Chain A
Amino acid sequence: MSVSVSSATTSATSATSRPAGPRRRGRRSGSALSGWLYALPTALFVVFLFLVPLVLVFQMSGSDWPLLGGNQGVNFPENYQKAVDNRFFVDSVIFTLKYTVLATVLLIGLGLGLGLLVQESSRWKGLLRTSFLIPSALGLASASLLFYVIYSPIAGPFAELTKSWGFTFLGTPDAALWSTLFLIVWRFAGFYMLLMLVGLQGIPDEVYEAARIDGASRWQTFRDVTIPLLKPTLALTTVMCVTGSLLAFEQFYILTKGGPDNSTITIVQLIYSVAFQGPNNLGVAGALSVIVLAALVVINIVQIRAFSKKVED
């Protein structure tokens, strides 16, 4: 429906604009100026909050730039060499990828499951939707602090229980990873549920009705109707989730500080620690940031390509 309407309006505007052409030329210089003026606030915003920092990071990544000493001149390939040679570089890349895969699978799976659960009208629909969504109202740093206390072996509500079981939430590398994943699922599952719900409700009832008439089972309907029609939503959520997880920082900074035994250092944490917790070298931190930026661009292009190809099929 909407497609035919929009194509009708575009053909209508192109039809009317053709004879109006010569008359508009006289106003062009004035409207161009006011056009630029309208665009100016956004342009300034983009230049100062996006382009300038970006250029600065590139400059930093190519300069010898200690945190306390300021820019000391060009140091181009060495910073990148040092960034890659950092003793935590490989470990942090592997850990970040591992965390990203786990978080994405959990969040997309749970988000879709919860979306399906609350899509149907039932007596508990309102309560369920609200309770899944409420954690999303909390900032990630505040949520991390909340879980820091919940997981605490001294002050936490499970302190007695963990003591008698001889277990701590953040004591071993695996426990720390899964405890952090639990926090992330708790915080974000509702948000992804909401996105899935929007996608699910965009699927017209007629398609489901047709499937029912053809005698499709529940599973067949889900696999052959819901999933293909949900693809744009799945693409959006996957790109968001992968990007967000690759840039994970607050939860690990607050809950584990990269421990125990340096087992939970994400790549962004590595950037932070190179800049502020020891080497205090903004040049190498900048080089790491540029590497991450490049990797993100590539990963996102690959994802978007992959999804758009499938949609065409």
Chain B
Amino acid sequence: MVSTTNRRMRRIGSGVLAAALLAGLAACSGTSDAGAPLASAGPDGIDDGTELTLWTRAPLEKQANLLVDAYNAGHENQVKLTVVPNDDYVAKVGAAAGSNSLPDLFAADIVYVPNWVEQGLFQDLTSNIDALPFKDSINPGHLAAGTSDGKQHVLPFVLDLSMLFWNKDLFTEAGLDPEVGPKDLKEFAEDAKAIQALDKPDTYGTATGLNCGGCLVFTWFPSVWASGDQVMNEEGTESLLAEKNAQEVYSTWADLWKSGAVLPSSKDETGPTWTAAFTEGKVGLMPYPATLLSSTPFDVGVSGIPGPDGGESTFVGGDGIGVSKDSTKSPQAWNFLNWMMSEEAQVGVLAKDNDVVSRSDLATNEYSSKDPRLVTINEVAAKGDTPFSLNFQEAFNSPSSPWLTLVRNAVLEETGTVDADNQAITDVLSQ
């Protein structure tokens, strides 16, 4: 309560400074902060022909479009979707948050959600989420990321899991079993080298984005989890990426890089084209985003990402979505969120498009039973993890992150400075 009055005071103060018009607006949004309308709207929210605005980032454009189109077709409310390039998203949300002009609904990369919730960008949805009959089957990683002081602010919008994909044609050519993926990291490296040994022009064993912190987090953390280790302590203030299993991941990739089985452009890949070579059929196997399954044009095998001594895990990434602090239409916005979690949207829209559903009780559905790979993905999702830290972006995703320094030193330069580099990550996480 104290914080809401403070916020209202601040808002009115800045409004007076700017102009009478702005002050009027500030007073309007100030009343919505009281939070009464959301709870009084009932479990389904309100569908009265309101126009809602929704922002998301470009990598999830396809899924966002499908969801919004399906919602608009069946409801009075109309959602207007804005897709922002990935690299500009934080800056755009930041600018809007500063000027109190966030859209009604906006999605956020799940690793940023804890920080954004902490900054008060999302409205409290606890009573609405608690009232959902299937609450216990909603992806727990996403719910936890949006929970602060016991209050829930965020629901899973689109789940993006990192899975090991392999090109079945290249596997057959290399004399490997196209139906069985590698069981551990050693087999992964052997398979990559076997495909490299085909010596086909422009074809490589594996690929990744060695100048892309987000890609490496997404594809290498699961190997650490698969062996039972953690990447950070529970509070997200200390990096554990110098432990034995993490070291094993770096040395496997260092060996692959030295042997020439990694796509050479991976060295400078900053993210925009890190999956392109696999999609073109030029890479044997690689950890890859499951959201791209439906747009991969050839036959691929899918499994969880293996650890150094077996096991499998996945990075439960993707975007969480919530009602913004600036929305004056929260009952209508909840109507969209409530529909988004329904079987109609999860199965009828997402599963139909070969995407992962965010409710475990719907993991087995009419579409997944047609494609066993979807069952695999949904099963591994339950074993996956979502890392939690307030300084995640600076420590891992940013182009100048200490995590990138660690990986490049360990894999490309082999400087043997993992302990010192790991300490640099901890320094950023703990500030």
* Chain A residues close to B by CB (< 8 Å): 66-71, 88, 152-154, 163, 168, 170-171, 257-262, 265, 273, 275-280
Contact = CB atoms under 8 A, between A and B. Distances in A.
A21 B395 CA distance: 71
B82 interface: no
B130 interface: no
A261 B405 contact: yes
Q: Among B97, B116, B400, B405, which residue has the most Cβ atoms of chain A within 10 A?
A: B400
Given A154-B277, A276-B94, A170 B268 contact: yes
B267 A171 contact: yes
Interface of B: 10, 90-91, 93-94, 97-98, 115-116, 119-121, 211, 264-265, 267-268, 270, 273, 276-277, 391, 393-395, 397-401, 405, 408
B270 A69 contact: no
A273 B94 contact: no
Given A168-B265, A277-B397, A277-B398, 7 more contacts: A69-B120, A154-B277, A258-B399, A276-B94, A277-B394, A279-B394, A280-B94
B400 A68 contact: no
A153 B400 contact: no
B262 to A, nearest CB: 13
B97 A67 contact: yes
B94 A260 contact: no
A154 B400 contact: no
Given A153-B265, A163-B264, A260-B268, A68 B119 contact: yes
9 contacts: A67-B90, A68-B93, A257-B211, A259-B270, A262-B400, A276-B90, A276-B91, A278-B398, A280-B90
Contacts of A69: 97, 119-120
Contacts of A70: 10, 97-98
Nearest to A151: B268
Closest 5 pairs (CB-CB, A-B): A278-B394, A67-B94, A278-B398, A68-B119, A276-B91
A16 B398 CA distance: 68
Contact of A278 (B10, B267, B268, B401): B401
Contacts of B94: 67-68, 275-276, 280
A262 to B, nearest CB: 5
A90 B94 CA distance: 27
B119 A261 contact: no
A38 B328 CA distance: 43
A40 B399 CA distance: 45
Contact of A260 (B119, B120, B211, B398): B211
Contacts of A257: 211, 270, 399
B398 A262 contact: no
A93 to B, nearest CB: 15
Given A68-B93, A68-B97, A276-B94, A168 B267 contact: yes
Nearest to B96: A68
A275 B98 CA distance: 13
B101 to A, nearest CB: 12
Contacts of A279: 394
Nearest to A265: B400
A276 B405 CA distance: 20
B393 to A, nearest CB: 5
B398 A171 contact: no
Q: Among A67, A170, A275, which residue has the most Cβ atoms of chain B within 10 A?
A: A67
A12 to B, nearest CB: 50
Nearest to A65: B98
A47 to B, nearest CB: 15
Nearest to B396: A278
Contact of A171 (B91, B268, B277, B405): B268
Contacts of B91: 67, 275-276
B408 A261 contact: yes
B405 A262 contact: yes
A70 B100 CA distance: 10
A280 B95 CA distance: 11
A91 to B, nearest CB: 10
A221 B90 CA distance: 58
A173 to B, nearest CB: 12
Contacts of A168: 264-265, 267-268
Contacts of B265: 152-154, 168
Contacts of B397: 277-278
A86 to B, nearest CB: 10
B154 to A, nearest CB: 15
A283 to B, nearest CB: 12
Given A261-B408, A276-B91, A67 B273 contact: no
